[in-house]
Chain A
Amino acid sequence: MRHKTFLWFFLPTGLAMLLFIALPIVSVVIQSIFAPHQAVLVEVENCTPLVGCTTETTIDQDATAALRAEKPLGRFVGLDVYFDRGHLAITEVSETWAASESLGGFFSELGNLPFYRAMAFTLTYTFVVTPLLILLGLMIALAVNSLHRHLKGLMIFFSLLPMIITPLIGALILFWMIDSRGIIGSALIGLAGDPNFSLKASTGLMWISLIIYGIWSSAPFAFVVFYAGLQTLPADQLEAAQIDGATRWQQVKYVVVPHLMPLVTFVALIQLMDNFKVFEPIIGFNASAHATSLSWIIFNDMGGETRQLSAASATSVLTIIGVAILLSPVLVRTWRDFKGRT
């Protein structure tokens, strides 16, 4: 295809991505190095006879508003926003590092800083949910594959539901069930034998609930992909393994899993990126007191009356860097494929 024809075909979609993805990234980076204007202060001298003169510092509302209207971006502060308490908190971290005796104490102190708190949950969630959902997806795929033909379709239909459902709605449905007056919540109260038992009260239990939600909602994806992979499993390899006397478990371990391995990598890479974005379940579970994620911080900073855009932008840039690190293996792989082809 000639360059000119290509350009015309690609122009609409290219323009959409340029204007609404590439430029906003630039705009986010710019916003993150500006901070809101400080209020303009004026000193007013009040003189009353007999008492004398006092000077008072007040906010000049008009001048502040004029300054804000003139330069909506704010004032240039360089990387200050990145290093402040709400983000990387350089000074606080070095102080705690100097003050704390042990590594454990250092990390528990870090947990009080919003950015590191969110990072801790995001990373725990990502690296616990991903392997578990792959394992569960594989087990479901193997079990469903051995079912009768008519049941398979029905199982796939119901398995798709947790994945296809709007994340916020799925989270709410589970949240209402684990509420202490909901069915799972009251069952847990019965099991624990403590009428005041509540999942919402403890950080650890809340994390576990969120992780279970994550596995519940993403395992179907792994299941569907692995199930499709099982359909292409060469029967002669399995037979050969059987003739060699392999047990069922050995067949799974040495024939089925190696056959599915490329798919496992694919699911792992996709899910690592998606789980890193974890956001809606925290809103749905109303869990922000116990668990926050990077996306949640951005959302929280932007919402409400204040709209702290530069704080949100700085977190956005840090999140994008995190995604880029997670994405790098995929990029390297795609690059190798491309080099191999040409």
Chain B
Amino acid sequence: MASKAQRMPKRLRIASTAFVLLWFILAAFPFIWTVWGSFKVELDFFSIADWTNALTGERTKAVYDSAFTGTGYDGAWVQKEFWRNVINTGIVCFFVVTISLTIGTLGGYALSRSSHNYTFWLLITALIFRAMPPITLVSGYLLPFFEWNVWGILPTTIIVLVAINQPFTLWMLHSFFKNIPSELDESAKVDGCNQFQAFRRVIIPVMWPGVITTGLFSFLLAYNDFAVGAMLLSESNRTMVPAIAAFLGTTQTEGNVMFAVAAVVSATVPLFILVMFFQRQIVGGLTAGAVKG
């Protein structure tokens, strides 16, 4: 947009900037508002009298002598033991990302280097699996898991999430490995490596950008999952998102909605940091599939 002819007329530029500003408010304001409100008492955040109370914290001042209070966080983390759910989510995310990247890398590499017809059908099958809502599968898990006595524990959920994650991982890594010239591992094989050695010595050192991008999306899937965790985990093993959903039921009756607000804000922070550091990779991953068509 360097040429003079391309420069926008003034009125259009104002309209366009106003639109961007409007979208910025729509996208960012709910988060800022909720973070700000999570340090208030309920009567301020849900203010009947005057909405500006949520900004100034009139009631909060009346109760705690200060416009900010950490009681919501205290209630969620200490009283309701939200830290347990945070640890569970940490465990689930770590293992889901590690396992699904390990087996997905091997599978995606094989799919990209084989020219047989069945690779196409495997990719199509993966695409169909990717399109199915995870919740439709859960009703198939419950009965066998009860029978084998593996319902409610973290490893079961981890394996299920890894499997649900595989179709997407395979597609991402397949198209990523396609972009690594196959001459690289072919020449390694000419030098006497077998396929696995070629993979280990030649491909692994250059695959990290694609693996990191795929890993981010695996992490998001595991972190954002609600349906699987809510159905397959017992109460003591719950991850963050099902725990927050359970909070809503109990806290609304007890008048402790602020616990849920604090828990929601706590669960948003890691995602915020993730986008801050990996914005480029996330955008790259989202567009990689699209640009290929």
Contact = CB atoms under 8 A, between A and B. Distances in A.
Interface of A: 1-3, 5-6, 8-10, 12-14, 16-17, 19-21, 23-28, 31, 72-73, 139-140, 142-147, 153, 155-162, 164-169, 172-174, 176-177, 179, 181-183, 186-187, 216, 220-221, 224-225, 228-229, 232, 238-239, 242, 248, 262-263, 266-267, 273, 276-277, 279-280, 283, 286, 295, 298-299, 301-303, 307, 309, 312-313, 316-317, 319-320, 323-324, 326-327, 330-331, 334-335, 337-338
Contacts of B12: 248
Nearest to A283: B245
Nearest to A139: B19
A13 B135 contact: no
A169 B287 contact: no
Contacts of B227: 279, 295, 299
A20 B164 contact: yes
Contacts of B139: 28, 31, 298, 301-302, 309, 312-313, 316
Contacts of A317: 136
Contacts of B106: 9-10, 12-13
Interface stretch (B25-33, B80-88, B204-212): B25-33
Interface in B223-258: 223-224, 226-227, 230-231, 241, 244-245, 248, 257
Nearest to A313: B139
B143 A166 contact: no
Contacts of B5: 239, 242
Given A17-B166, A24-B137, A31-B140, A176 B286 contact: no
A28 B140 contact: yes
A303 B138 CA distance: 11
B64 interface: no
A73 B144 CA distance: 10
A8 B107 CA distance: 9
Interface of B: 1, 3, 5-6, 8-9, 12-13, 16-17, 19-20, 23-24, 26-28, 30-31, 33-34, 37, 45-48, 51, 54, 102-104, 106-107, 109-111, 113-116, 120, 122-129, 131-133, 135-144, 146-147, 159-160, 162-164, 166-167, 169-170, 194-196, 199, 220, 223-224, 226-227, 230-231, 241, 244-245, 248, 257, 260-261, 264, 267-268, 271-272, 274-276, 279, 282-283, 286-287, 289-291, 293
Most B-side CB within 10 Å, residue of A166, A181, A224, A298: A166
A6 B116 CA distance: 10
A211 to B, nearest CB: 15
B291 A228 contact: yes
16 contacts: A9-B106, A20-B159, A26-B140, A143-B17, A146-B13, A156-B283, A168-B241, A176-B46, A182-B46, A229-B291, A267-B290, A277-B133, A279-B135, A299-B227, A316-B139, A334-B127
Contact of B103 (A16, A20, A301): A16
Nearest to B289: A266
Given A9-B195, A156-B279, A169-B264, 12 more contacts: A6-B110, A10-B111, A17-B167, A140-B23, A155-B20, A159-B27, A167-B226, A172-B260, A186-B51, A228-B291, A309-B139, A334-B127
Contact of B279 (A160, A277, A320, A337): A160
Contacts of B267: 166, 169
**9 nearest A-B pairs in the assembled complex, by CB-CB distance:** A24-B140, A20-B163, A9-B110, A13-B107, A181-B46, A12-B103, A316-B136, A228-B287, A27-B140
Nearest to B225: A166
Main secondary structure on A side of the interface with B:
helix
Given A6-B116, A25-B137, A183-B51, A168 B287 contact: no
B47 A181 contact: yes
A262 B124 contact: no
Contact of A183 (B16, B33, B199): B33
A169 B244 contact: yes
Contacts of A9: 106-107, 109-110, 195-196, 199
A298 B136 contact: yes
Nearest to B272: A161
Nearest to B138: A302
Nearest to B134: A277
A164 B133 contact: no
A263 B28 CA distance: 26
Given A1-B195, A6-B110, A173-B30, A266 B290 contact: yes
B51 A187 contact: yes
Contact of B24 (A3, A158, A177, A279): A158
A263 B30 contact: no
A276 B136 CA distance: 12
B241 A166 contact: yes
B170 A330 contact: no
Most B-side CB within 10 Å, residue of A139, A156, A172, A238: A172
A242 B3 CA distance: 12
Contact of A225 (B9, B28, B113, B287): B287
A121 B248 CA distance: 24
Contacts of B116: 3, 6
A276 to B, nearest CB: 8
A148 to B, nearest CB: 10
B136 to A, nearest CB: 4
